[in-house]
Each structure stands twice: as structure tokens, then as C-alpha cells.
Amino acid sequence: MKKLVLLALLVACIPLTAHARNLDIYWIDVEGGAATLIVTPTGQSLLVDTGWAVPDDRDAKRIFRVAQKAGVKKIDYLVVTHYHGDHVGGVPALAKLIPIEHFLDHGDSVEAQHPRWGKDWEAYKAVVAGKRTILKPGDKLPLKDVDTLVVTADGHTLASPVKGAGGTNPYCEGAQRKPADKTENQRSVGLLLTYGKFKFLDLGDLTWDIEMDLACPVNKLGTVTLFQATHHGFTNDYSGAPAHVLALKPQLLIVNNDKMKGWHNAAWDTAAKIQGLEDIWQVHQAIGPNRDHNVKPEQIANLEGPPDEGRGLMASISPEGKITVTNERTGFSKSYTTR
């Protein structure tokens, strides 16, 4: 009888344990490119970008290593934000290491003839022929338990604000406007992922002109919990429009930078003005022109100097909204509560 009671208790606990699984987000070090792996509470996988094409398939191997660590056997959905080599270059090599079921992007490249980026576009096309889905603002990815909304694609933004957003943005008054960007950066697919109260925003390398379309005269996105800083930490003066960044009011910023690709001076100052910002984490310590713009070492996955072991960052979000960010290099973790 005792064995039967114990068995009944164990069976009863199984669905509770499965339901309590967290949402996990991994920022993989692809040396100044981007590769963000998202694993939903039900085990579905979404990979956003794939890093560079390099002779030793370094970035594809790093993504595969993290996928294995996360228990991911296949990539359910791969979103390529745009066709610059640091975002799409790893696709051919990765497709040989792990099955990829669905390829999602913004449509054809506007830089197909570019001497540097054209070859990455051609390589991507060869892999995904007949298997692509073109995204547009307002589309939703079919992920269970997690609402994943396309907010930008191919130079366009949402037609109307998301639920709870849409108020007049006070930061728009006197805000600087810039000419429309003509590169693939401007076409970046942007995703807003919602899990309970938690909201995660990834806009690829989106440019100032489209950021302003999201932010002014009304803030179409409202506020977010965790913001993957656009363009590797607003590394230049054509991303990171203050009217956009300040209106988002993120609790946390994750910067997937490289040692020579980090904060732009003005962006560092903008981040310091974000109301309610609790913390910033970086994939790399900046040692180039922006070496003075670094957070505490325990919140940096890769420090200056060899060997570069390609360490990353991870955020685990519980159903109740507890966020735990972990530095793979040291194992140091810090927790926050979603507001």
C-alpha cells in the first residue's frame, strides 16, 4: 500500500515539475556577431542569428555546444535578423551540425551585390532554398507558452502599438531624426517575447530611423524587462536613439559585444539615464576605443587577453517572474524580480 501511495504521489508531481520549467535565454559568444538561443518552458527552441562563417566553423560549433548543454536536439525556428556576415554567416555550418526545421527572415537581401556581405546571402540561400518563411511586423511565431511577436522586419514596424503601450512618448520632444539607412541593418527582424510579466526585446542591428518609428510620436512597444542592446551595445551613432531606448525602460541590458566592438560614447551616456535600469551584463570586456565603458568583471563573460574560451551569458526566467542571470566563465549568478 505504501508503495502504491508513493507511486501515486510521484505521478501527481510529474506535470507540476514539467509546468514549472523555466524560460531560458543563452547569449553565445560569436566574437562581435550575434547568436541568441531561446528554450521555452515546453522545450521548443528558437535561435536568433548564427554568428560568422569562419574556416574552423568556430561559431557554429559554439552554438551547437550550447544547444547540447541546453538539451536541444534540433532548432525548431531559426530567425535571421538580417544578412550581414556576423549574423547569418554561421548558417551553412550549423545546418550540418544540428537539424533546423524552420528558417525565418525578412525577405531578400538589399545588399546582394555587396562585395563583403553578398557571399553570405548566397550561402544562406543555398541552404534554405524552398524552406524559408518571410516575416512581417505583426506576425507571431508558433511557440507554446511564450508569445513571440515580430515588431520590425524589412524596414517596417508594427501598424499599431502592442497591448498596454501606445502612450505619448515624452522623449520624442526635440529628439534627433536621421536619414533612412540603406543597408541590411535597417531591415532587421525585431522580436518581442513575452512570458507572463517578463518581456524580452531583440532588434538585431536595427537603425536609428526605424527605432524612431517604433518610439515616436507614441511608444509602440511600451516597457520591457530585458533588452538585448541593439547593434552589439549601440556601437555606433546610427543605432540607439535615446527617445526609443529611454522609453523602453528596461530593467536589464545584455550586450553581446566583442572586445573591439562595444559601447558608443553617447550610448553609454544614454544607458546611464534609463529610469529603473538595474544592471548591465556584457559578453566581452571592451579593450578598444571604448575600454572605459565596461561593467564589473563578474558580469562580463570574456575578459581581456587570451585564451578566448567563447564563454556566454544565460538568463533563466521562472513562471513567477524571477530572473537569474549567470556568467558561464565564473558561474557567478544574480537574480532579479520582473516588475
For residue 26 the three cell numbers come to 543563452
Whole-number Å distance between alpha carbons of 33 and 183: 16
64 and 73 in contact (C-beta within 8 Å)? Answer: no
Secondary structure letter of residue 162 according to DSSP: P
Whole-number Å distance between alpha carbons of 192 and 4: 46
The pLDDT of residue 18: 38
- Has domain 21-337 been given CATH number 2.160.10.10? no
The pLDDT of residue 159: 97
Whole-number Å distance between alpha carbons of 79 and 48: 5
Q: Read out DSSP for 76-117?
A: EEEE----SHHHHTTHHHHHHHS-EEEEEESSS-S-TT-TTT
Whole-number Å distance between alpha carbons of 194 and 198: 6
For residue range 170-193, list pLDDT tens digits in order.
999 999 999 999 999 999 999 999
Q: What are phi and psi of 272, to 5 degrees?
A: -65, -20
The pLDDT of residue 123: 98
| Low-confidence residues of the chain: pLDDT under 70 | 1-20
Element (H, E) at 133: strand 132-134
Secondary structure letter of residue 258 according to DSSP: B
Half-sphere exposure (CA, 13 Å, Cβ side) for 31?
A: 15
For residue range 210-260, list pLDDT tens digits in order.
999 999 999 999 999 999 999 887 777 789 999 999 999 999 999 988 888
Does pTM surpass 0.85? yes
Give the C-alpha distances (Å, rounded to integers) separating 184 from 106, 187, 215, 239, 287.
10, 5, 21, 13, 27
Q: Is 38 left (phi over 0), alpha (psi -120 to 50) or beta?
A: beta
Which are the contacts of 13, defined by CB distance < 8 A and separation ≥ 6? Answer: none
Which are the contacts of 59, defined by CB distance < 8 A and separation ≥ 6? Answer: 28, 30, 31, 33, 35, 50, 51, 52, 53, 89, 90, 93
